[in-house]
Chain A
């Protein structure tokens, strides 16, 4: 069955045998599947369009905002030191909420509670700029989400979402990204779904986008109704994906085709 090249890729995906989880030694970042030109674009800070958001994020970091009239930098200081590794640890458990929160949610918690400013909309330029700036401070570090008793139920929920068939095409994330990575889906190579570089610049979007934007795209692709931005299901899935990529190098802001 595996050697048979069906014209409709979905048929191949649905029919192929389950290969199970990817062994740790075989894990590969999405950047390994890209063309040399796209990799060069990611690696050069003056060619990587994600750096435009990073630069904007740096100015937002130092800008006073909200009723409290405070800038991020007034509490957190120089992000290059204080925010090192932070993005590679998210989603992280938030004790007051009793559940993991994403980097985007963490920024908005700080905005509403400390700066007394309105939360930034998901995928807004400002939120992407701030998260890109934060994520840039973790570039080159290993992904390291904390897993303990508190996060375990959410990690399990994320894992269940990853392996659950859904949508009109009745596909689970794992059927593409565990069982058929490296093969073609239409013109594209199916990557292993390790979120190593978010927020990242997708050439297709002509913009920077968050991991949740990518996840919603995938859900639409399998004709499932996408969860809302910030929905518990997406956060749990994000947590599971980051755990699944634990130890891999953080590349943000990455570039993807």
Chain B
């Protein structure tokens, strides 16, 4: 299942500030809710989001239980060189999702 959507410009000028939008499918179960029978619903959230640009980390976010389902993270970075923007989300229950997009810098 395609569970992540990335919106990053495919081309940019060197030194330009580019905006990157990421959306991922995830329930973000807080761990505080209970079922109708009173049993605690175990926490299931994304804990960490990391974006690397040609291997260098350019953005990192720690996520917490108060963040809504299907987290939408928008950030910016400076276009320095052509290459790959790689995204990784990791979380509870061994959740791990990776996605990458290519960028051409002239």
Contact = CB atoms under 8 A, between A and B. Distances in A.
Nearest to B2: A55
Contacts of A207: 69
Nearest to B25: A52
A47 B21 CA distance: 7
Interface string A48-80: 010110011001000000000000000000000
A27 B5 CA distance: 34
A59 B25 CA distance: 15
B69 A52 contact: no
A124 interface: no
Contacts of B27: 206
Given A55-B2, A56-B2, A206 B7 contact: no
A49 B1 contact: no
Contact of A56 (B1, B69, B70): B1
A47 B68 contact: no
A59 B2 CA distance: 8
Given A46-B23, A47-B21, A52-B23, A206 B70 contact: yes
User: Top 8 closest A-B pairs, CB basis?
Assistant: A46-B7, A206-B69, A55-B2, A52-B25, A49-B70, A46-B5, A56-B1, A46-B21
B5 A52 contact: yes
Contacts of A206: 27-28, 68-70
A220 interface: no
A90 B7 CA distance: 32
Contacts of B7: 44, 46-47
A221 B1 CA distance: 35
A257 to B, nearest CB: 12
Q: Which of A52, A56, A203, A207 is packed against the most chain B CB atoms within 10 Å?
A: A52
Interface of B: 1-3, 5-7, 21, 23, 25, 27-28, 68-70, 72
Nearest to B6: A46
A46 B5 CA distance: 6
A49 to B, nearest CB: 5
A126 to B, nearest CB: 10
Interface string A27-55: 00000000000000000111101011001
30 contacts: A44-B7, A44-B21, A46-B5, A46-B6, A46-B7, A46-B21, A46-B23, A47-B7, A47-B72, A49-B23, A49-B25, A49-B72, A51-B5, A51-B23, A52-B2, A52-B3, A52-B5, A52-B23, A52-B25, A52-B70, A55-B1, A55-B2, A56-B1, A56-B2, A56-B3, A56-B25, A59-B2, A203-B68, A206-B28, A206-B70
Nearest to A49: B70
A179 to B, nearest CB: 33
A46 B4 CA distance: 9
Q: Which of A44, A46, A59 is packed against the most chain B CB atoms within 10 Å?
A: A46
